[in-house]
Structure 1
C-alpha cells in the first residue's frame, strides 16, 4: 500500500528518498526512476537502432596492435567459472566478466536490492527485498583505449524513423559514461571481452551501487570492511552479492546487497498509453516527428507482458479465455509463518477474476518458494517474491521493477513486515469490534487474522500489477447502504476498489447484521485490469487509442468506475477521494463511526484484560480510539472549502471542478463544533484514564499522554487546518463563482465564532477544555496575522517540521494522525510516481492582500469586543483567561 515515488525527470535529493523510506511510506519506484542520478549524469539517448560502432569500438583486427595478455594468463586454471548471459570468472580474489561481442551495446537493467541488514537499519524500516537503485546500462568496447565503458541513458525520447528531426534526437540525448573497466583480454575465440569488475562490488566505487548515499547515510563503503560474497550467472541475468560496510558517527553498519544485471528483450513490449481516468503507474515517453508543431508527451502504463500463445491468437480475438505465453508467478518467502502462507497466496490468486476480464485464464499464480533449489534466490529478478521481514515495522508495500523503455513489469517485490498484523488488529478491533465479537480480543484467532492478511495481500499485489491507489472508490457507496447486509453482500466489502484505503466497515451499527466488512477486489479493479491488459494485434499504441477510450467512455457516468487519485495529505482538496474514509458523506459516516467508538470506550478494559499484566494494551487501544476520532475529524475538515475533482475529456459533460455543496460545508462546521471542538465527555472522561493514559509508541519508548495535553494539540491541528490559507482561498473562489449559493468565508467565521465562544456568549464559566479551545482558535488567527505582516520573529515561535503541514509547533505525534491512526502501509505516498496521479491546483496569492487575511483580522476584532464585554463574568480561571486573550489580540493587532 506504500512508497513515495518520483518521476523519471524529477529533481530530488537523496535525503528526500530516505525520508520517504524512513517515514514509513511506500516507494513505488519504477525501474529507471530509481536510478538516483545526479546532475553530472546528464541526459541519455534512448535510440533503439542497432549500435553503429565507431573506429575506437571496432573489434576487427583487435589482436594486431594490442598489448593485452592472453586469455589463459588472465583466466587461469585457478578460475571458477559461472556460465550465463555474461560469464563470471573468479580467480582467487578477483572477479572477471566475459561478455560476448553480440551483447555489446545491448540494453541491460541493473537492479540493486537489499538482502540482509543489521538491527540499526532494520529498525528504520529498511529490510530485505527493498530495491533501492536501478540503472539502464550498456556495455561498450573501446579497443583503441583498451576499455569497456558502461554507459547509462534515459529511454524517454524517440524520433520517428526516417524523419529529419530524428538525427537531432540522437545528438541531443546521448548516453553518458557511468563507469569504465580496463580491458584485461579477449575471449578464447576473440568474440568476447574480459574485464575485472571487483571495484564496483567490493566498495571501492559507487558508480553502479550508491547504497549509502541512497540511504542518506554519510560517507561511502569502506573497501577494507567490504567484500564480494557470491556470484551467479544465468541465461538472462547475473547476480553479484556484496557485503558493504560504512562508519558514521562512530557506528559501523554492514549491509548485504544483491546486484542483478538483466538482459532486456531486443524488442520491447508494445506500450499502452495511459489515461488520467484510470489509475496506473506510468513511465514517461516523448515523441518527436517532422510534422509536429509541438512535442508529443505521453505516459506509458506500467504492466506485465501478457500475450496469448501464437496458436491461441484466433481463439483470444474471438473472445475465448486462453492462457498467456508467460504467467505472472509470485513466490511466498519460506520465512513466512505457515499459518499465513495460504492467506497471502489467496490474496494473489484473487486477481484471477480480473485477468479474465482481459481475456486470460490462469494468468496469475502463487507458489511456495522452493527450499531445496540451490539456484533459487529471492533477490533474483527472475522471481517475484513476497518477502517476509522480521521487523517491528508495521508496514507492507508492493514495488516492482520496470523496463523503462516500454513500461513492462519484469519483476515484483512485496515486502511484508511482520508487525503489519499489529496495525490490522488495531484497525479491525476499533472499527468493527462493536459489531463483530471475533474482533475484540488482544489476539485474534488465526482464521480471523488470515482474512485480514488476505486483504492486504490483494492490495499489495494490485500495486505490483501497476495499479495506483483509487482513493475515490469508497465515495461510490451511499453511507446508509454500508449498513445494509443485502447491499454489502451484493457489492462486496467497503468500496468498489481494493486499491482504496477503505479499511473496515465502521459505519455498520449493532443489529444491522452486516457481515461483509472487509475490503476486497471490486468492479473498478476488474475493469482497470481489463483496460490495461486486454491484448490486441494493433501495430502501435496510437492505433488502439480509440478502443481504449471507448472502454472508458462506456462507464463515464458510473461512480463505481470513478478514479480518484491520492492527494497531498498536507492540502487535501477533494473530500470524495480521501484516505481511510467510507461512503459519500464524511459527516454522516463519521457520526455513525462516533456512535460505535462511544460504545467501545467503556469496553476497553474488558477487551484488553490480561491477568497480572499492566494496562499498556488498554492505553494503546485508547490512543487508537482517539486516533480514529481524529481521523473522522480530518475527513470532515476536507469538506470545508473542498472541490470535487474530475478528469473530463472533450466529448464528456463532466465538470473538472465542482465546489462542495453549501449545506455540506455548513454541516461540516457543525460536526466539528459539536463532536471535535466541544470534545465529547465519553472521550475526555473515560474511566480507563484512572488506570492508564493514552499511550503512543515512539523510538524512545512508550509515551503516556495526559488527556488535556493530547486534546489541546489535536484541537490546535484542527484549527490550523481549518484556517489554512489555501482552504480559505478556495472558499473565496467558490464565492466568486457561485455568489450567495456558496458557503462564504465570513459565514464560516461567524459559525465558528458562535460555536467556539458559545459559553462565553451565554456568560458561563469555562472548563479547561473550553479555555484550551478558545486559546487555540485565537492562536491560529494571530499566527495568520503575524504572517500577513511578515513578522518572522513571531513565526519562529510556531515553526514546525511536522509532516502534517500545520503551522503550529505542537507535538510531533500530530504527524501520525493526519488521516490515519496507528501504523500505516508503507506505500501511502506512492502516487507521486506519475504526473497523472497528482493535481497541482494553484490557490495562492500575496498573503498581505488576500481577503482571507481581512476576515481573520476581522474575527480578532470581534473576539476582542466580545471578551471586553464578558471579561468580568465567570469564575476566576475564566476571567484570567479572557484578560490573557485580550492582551494577546491587542498585541497582535497593534503590530508590536
Structure 2
C-alpha cells in the first residue's frame, strides 16, 4: 500500500536494505552445495554445472515470468536474460495469520521494487530499486545521478547452471524464500507487533510456487519463536507494547502463511499525468535532473490505472464515441463473503461505470464473483484485484492499491472489508436518519437496507483504489436548504462526491418526505469529473504538454460548475473541508441536525429494545447520539479562525487564501453559546441515563463542553485570528471580539444574576484553566516521531495571544469578585470565590 509521496520512505528502505543479512550462504556439508566440514565461514564454491545435472529428469517444471523447477525439495528459478535488469515489484501479503493479532489474510505487509542482475563471479544479485531521482541517459547530468544513488544488493545466488540455449541462468531460491528475508517477508515492525523473535527453520517451508507470464507467486509458511507478550494488564511504562496472542501463550511460537507476488513492471512505463492540487488523486514523485535546468524539478504524478483505447478504436474515441478500453478493470469478490452481501458489493463497483463514460470508456470497470472451482486462480495472485472479506470486529473498510513507482500505474488492489463494518453503517444510519426513515428504527436492519449501506461503502473504497483521495470539501457546495428540497436532493444527492465523509442527509426533516435517494451518498458530479480528468486519454506522451491540456480542462470545468471543487482532506484550517459535515452553512445544518437528534433520543428506548438485552443497545446508541452532537459542535467550531484555501493556477482570478467571513465566525460563536455552553438539558434524559450509567460516571456532556471550549480557545486558533487581522485587514473577526463574545456566553450569569448550575460551574472553571495555560505556553513533548519531523505546535508566548489572555483574566477577576458578593445561592458563591482565587494565582503565581 503506497503513501501519497514516498521519497522519505524510500530513503529509509535503502538504509534498511543495506543492512540486510545474506541468508543464501551455502549449506553445511552433506547438503547441496555444502561447505567444508568444520569450516565455519569457509565454503567451497562450485561453478555452474551442466544444465541436466541441476535440472534433472525428476524436475517438475512450470513456465512463466520465471521458469520454476522443483527437484526433490529444492526450488530453482530459471531466469531468461531478457528478464535480468528488468524492474520487478515484489508484494507480500498474509495468507493466514494467528488469531488475536489484528492482522488478516489478504492484507499487504511488504512492497519492494527489485531487479535480478548478473554479478562478477558467476552469481546473481537482487538489488532493491530505490527510485529517488532520475535523468535521461543521454544527458551529461545522468552520470552524476548514477554516481549519487547506488541501489543496495539485498541477496546473492550462485549460478547453478546456464540454460540449454545459454539465454538464461538457473539459481536455487529454496533457502532464500524459506529464510527470514525482509524484502519478501516481515520487517522489524511487523515482528514486534506479533512479538516474534527467531525464525524456526525446521518449521518453515515453501508451500508452493506458481508462475505466470507476468508474475510468479510464492507461498511460504514461516514459524517464529514468540513471546507471550504483556498480557491484558497495564503495560510497563516505557516498554514496547506486544500482543498476548493465544498461539504465543500456548506454544511459544507463531506460524504465518505468506504469499509473495513478483510482478514484472512494463518495459516502457505508462505515461505520467502530472499531479494537480485541484483534483484529488493519490500521487507519487521523484526528482528529475536534466542538463538544461536552472533548478531541480520534483515531478509529482497521479496514481491511476492504465486505461487506453484499443488501437483499432482510436478514431472512434477521438470522435467522442464510447469505446471499451484495451484492458478492463476487474474486481473479484472474496468467496468468504456472505452470499447475501455479494450483489451489493458488486453493485458498488459497477456504479463507477457511469463515471468512466465521462472519460470516453464503456465497460471500463466490472465486479465478478470469484470462480471457486478454478484451481489456476489464487486470491493472492497479483493479477487479480479482490475485495477481501475479514472475519473481524473492526468497524471499518479500506481501499489500497499497488502501483508502478515509475509512472503511477495501478497494477492491482486488495480492498479490505471487515465484517463489522455493518455495525458502523447501522449506527450512522439510525442516528442520522431515524427521524425521517422508519426502516432505521431497529437494531437489525432488513437485508435490503443493509445491502444498500454496504453498496455505498463499497463505492467509496473502490474510489480509493481508482486513485481518488477523500474530498472533504465536496458537501460544502450544497446549499443547506437544498438538503430539504425533495426534488433537488433526490436528483442531485446531498454531496457531489462519494469520496467525501458526508454519510447521510441529517438535515432532512420529517415533513420534507425525502426518500432514501435523498438520504444516501452516491457517485456524484465531482467523482465523474475526477475520473474524467484522470482517465481521459489525450494521446500526449509528453508530461508537460499533457499538463497544459489538463490545466485548461480544470479551469473551464470549475468555472462552469463550482460543485466540481476539490476541498482537500480536512487537514487545513478551511471550515469548508470537514469530515461528517453537510452543506454550505454548518450552523444551520447543525440546528436541523439537533432537531432530529431530539426526535431520535425520544425514540431510542423503544427502538433499541431486544428480548433479554440489559440496556446495552440503549447505552451504545446513546453514545452514538452524543457523538453525533459532538460532531455538530466541531463542524461549527472550525469556522472560528478559519482560513479558506482554494487551489488555483495563475490563470484563475482571486486569491488562494481568504479569511472566513466575520459574520460566519460570529454566528458560529453564538451557536456554541446557545447550543452547547448553555447547558443542553435535553441530552440529560433521566429515563435513559438512569438505565445505562451511575451518576459518578464521567459525564459525556461535560466532556464535550470542555473539549469544545478548549478547542475554541486553543492558542493556534487565537493566533490565526491575530494573523488574519494583520493579513486581511478591516472587516475580519478580531481575536479581541471573539474572546469578548465567548466570555459573554460562558459567563452570562455575571449579568443575569441567575444561579450557576453544575455544568456551567465546571465549564467556567475550565475556561479559567485554559486561559491560564495561555499565559506561559509549554511546547508539548511528543515521542515516537521519525528523525527530522516535529509535532505541529504554534508557540504563542511572544504574540498578542498571551496579552489578550492576560487582559481577559484581569477583567474577569474584577467581575467575578464583585459577583461573588451578590451570588443568588451558596454553591454559586463558593464557585465564584474559587474562580477568583484561581485567576489570582494564574496572574501572580508567586
Distance in 2 (alpha carbons) for counterparts of 1:270 and 1:556: 25
Distance in 2 (alpha carbons) for counterparts of 1:766 and 1:375: 74
Q: Give TM-score, length-normalised by structure 2.
A: 0.89
Pairs within 5 Å for 1:844-863: 846-863=795-812
Q: Does the 8 Å CA contact 2:477/2:563 hold for their aligned counterparts?
A: yes
Please tell me whether residue 565 in structure 1 is matched to residue 568 in structure 2: yes
Distance in 2 (alpha carbons) for counterparts of 1:717 and 1:845: 19
For residue 180 of structure 2, what is the aligned residue in structure 1?
A: 204
Q: Does the 8 Å CA contact 1:729/1:843 hold for their aligned counterparts?
A: no
- By how many angstroms is 1:97 displaced? 1.8
- By how many angstroms is 1:588 displaced? 0.9
For residue 644 of structure 1, what is the aligned residue in structure 2?
A: 644
Distance in 2 (alpha carbons) for counterparts of 1:554 and 1:7: 28
SS of 1:871 mapped into structure 2: helix
- By how many angstroms is 1:322 displaced? 0.8
Q: Does the 8 Å CA contact 2:504/2:519 hold for their aligned counterparts?
A: yes
Q: Does the 8 Å CA contact 1:786/1:892 hold for their aligned counterparts?
A: no
For residue 697 of structure 1, what is the aligned residue in structure 2?
A: none
For residue 585 of structure 1, what is the aligned residue in structure 2?
A: 585
Please tell me whether residue 883 in structure 1 is matched to residue 833 in structure 2: yes
For residue 94 of structure 2, what is the aligned residue in structure 1?
A: 114
- By how many angstroms is 1:552 displaced? 0.6
For residue 34 of structure 2, what is the aligned residue in structure 1?
A: none
For residue 265 of structure 1, what is the aligned residue in structure 2?
A: 266
Distance in 1 (alpha carbons) for counterparts of 2:401 and 2:410: 7
Distance in 2 (alpha carbons) for counterparts of 1:502 and 1:86: 47
Q: Deviations over 1:546-580 (max 9, x none)?
A: 22111111123332110011033xxx401101001
Q: Does the 8 Å CA contact 2:215/2:261 hold for their aligned counterparts?
A: yes
- By how many angstroms is 1:216 displaced? 4.5
Pairs within 5 Å for 1:805-816: none
Q: Does the 8 Å CA contact 1:781/1:860 hold for their aligned counterparts?
A: yes
For residue 49 of structure 1, what is the aligned residue in structure 2?
A: none
Distance in 2 (alpha carbons) for counterparts of 1:341 and 1:235: 30
Please tell me whether residue 242 in structure 1 is matched to residue 220 in structure 2: yes
For residue 817 of structure 2, what is the aligned residue in structure 1?
A: 868
- By how many angstroms is 1:601 displaced? 0.7
The 3 A distance-change label for structure 1 pair 76 and 885 is farther
Please tell me whether residue 140 in structure 1 is matched to residue 140 in structure 2: no
Distance in 1 (alpha carbons) for counterparts of 2:586 and 2:342: 36
Distance in 1 (alpha carbons) for counterparts of 2:397 and 2:181: 32
Pairs within 5 Å for 1:704-853: 709-787=699-777, 790=778, 846-853=795-802
The 3 A distance-change label for structure 1 pair 559 and 374 is same
Distance in 2 (alpha carbons) for counterparts of 1:545 and 1:296: 15
For residue 88 of structure 1, the aligned residue among 39, 50, 68 is: 68
630-639 or 735-744, larger mean C-alpha shift? 735-744
438-447 or 169-178, larger mean C-alpha shift? 169-178
For residue 158 of structure 1, what is the aligned residue in structure 2?
A: 134
Distance in 2 (alpha carbons) for counterparts of 1:772 and 1:618: 27
679-688 or 725-734, larger mean C-alpha shift? 679-688
- By how many angstroms is 1:679 displaced? 3.0
Q: Deviations over 1:348-396 (max 9, x none)?
A: 1111111111111111111101100112111111000011111101111
Q: Deviations over 1:818-866 (max 9, x none)?
A: xxxxxxxxxxxxxxxxxxxxxx999976532111111112222222222
- By how many angstroms is 1:628 displaced? 0.0
Q: Does the 8 Å CA contact 1:494/1:503 hold for their aligned counterparts?
A: no
For residue 673 of structure 1, what is the aligned residue in structure 2?
A: 673
Distance in 2 (alpha carbons) for counterparts of 1:325 and 1:668: 52
Q: Does the 8 Å CA contact 2:47/2:122 hold for their aligned counterparts?
A: no
Q: Deviations over 1:288-332 (max 9, x none)?
A: 222211122221111111111111111111111111111000001
The 3 A distance-change label for structure 1 pair 547 and 215 is farther
Q: Does the 8 Å CA contact 1:505/1:517 hold for their aligned counterparts?
A: yes
Runs of 4+ in 1 over 4 A off after TM superposition: 40-43, 218-221, 704-708, 799-803, 840-846
Q: Deviations over 1:642-665 (max 9, x none)?
A: 011111111111321111111111
For residue 519 of structure 2, what is the aligned residue in structure 1?
A: 517
Distance in 1 (alpha carbons) for counterparts of 2:655 and 2:51: 70
The 3 A distance-change label for structure 1 pair 594 and 801 is farther
Distance in 2 (alpha carbons) for counterparts of 1:67 and 1:739: 79
Distance in 1 (alpha carbons) for counterparts of 2:630 and 2:143: 59
SS of 2:797 mapped into structure 1: helix
Distance in 2 (alpha carbons) for counterparts of 1:361 and 1:92: 50
Q: Does the 8 Å CA contact 1:602/1:686 hold for their aligned counterparts?
A: no
Distance in 2 (alpha carbons) for counterparts of 1:743 and 1:199: 68
The 3 A distance-change label for structure 1 pair 112 and 682 is same
Q: Does the 8 Å CA contact 2:430/2:440 hold for their aligned counterparts?
A: yes
93-102 or 470-479, larger mean C-alpha shift? 93-102
| RMSD value, Cα | 2.5
- By how many angstroms is 1:441 displaced? 1.1
- By how many angstroms is 1:536 displaced? 2.5
Distance in 2 (alpha carbons) for counterparts of 1:90 and 1:437: 62
Distance in 2 (alpha carbons) for counterparts of 1:291 and 1:270: 22
Q: Does the 8 Å CA contact 2:659/2:728 hold for their aligned counterparts?
A: no
Q: Does the 8 Å CA contact 2:286/2:298 hold for their aligned counterparts?
A: yes
Q: Does the 8 Å CA contact 1:179/1:207 hold for their aligned counterparts?
A: no
Pairs within 5 Å for 1:405-420: 405-420=406-421
474-483 or 852-861, larger mean C-alpha shift? 852-861
Pairs within 5 Å for 1:593-672: 593-672=593-672
637-646 or 842-851, larger mean C-alpha shift? 842-851
For residue 102 of structure 1, what is the aligned residue in structure 2?
A: 82
- By how many angstroms is 1:677 displaced? 1.9
The 3 A distance-change label for structure 1 pair 800 and 234 is closer
For residue 895 of structure 1, what is the aligned residue in structure 2?
A: 845
The 3 A distance-change label for structure 1 pair 261 and 138 is same
For residue 810 of structure 1, what is the aligned residue in structure 2?
A: none
Q: Give TM-score, length-normalised by structure 1.
A: 0.84
Distance in 2 (alpha carbons) for counterparts of 1:845 and 1:714: 23
The 3 A distance-change label for structure 1 pair 395 and 849 is same
The 3 A distance-change label for structure 1 pair 101 and 706 is farther
For residue 10 of structure 1, what is the aligned residue in structure 2?
A: 8
SS of 1:511 mapped into structure 2: helix
Structure 1 runs not aligned, ≥5 long: 12-32, 44-64, 694-703, 804-839
Q: Does the 8 Å CA contact 1:303/1:466 hold for their aligned counterparts?
A: yes
SS of 1:456 mapped into structure 2: helix
The 3 A distance-change label for structure 1 pair 457 and 365 is same
Pairs within 5 Å for 1:219-230: 219-220=196-197, 222-224=199-201, 225-230=203-208
- By how many angstroms is 1:221 displaced? 5.2
Distance in 2 (alpha carbons) for counterparts of 1:161 and 1:145: 27
Q: How many residues are paired up?
A: 789
For residue 537 of structure 2, the aligned residue among 535, 538, 543 is: 535
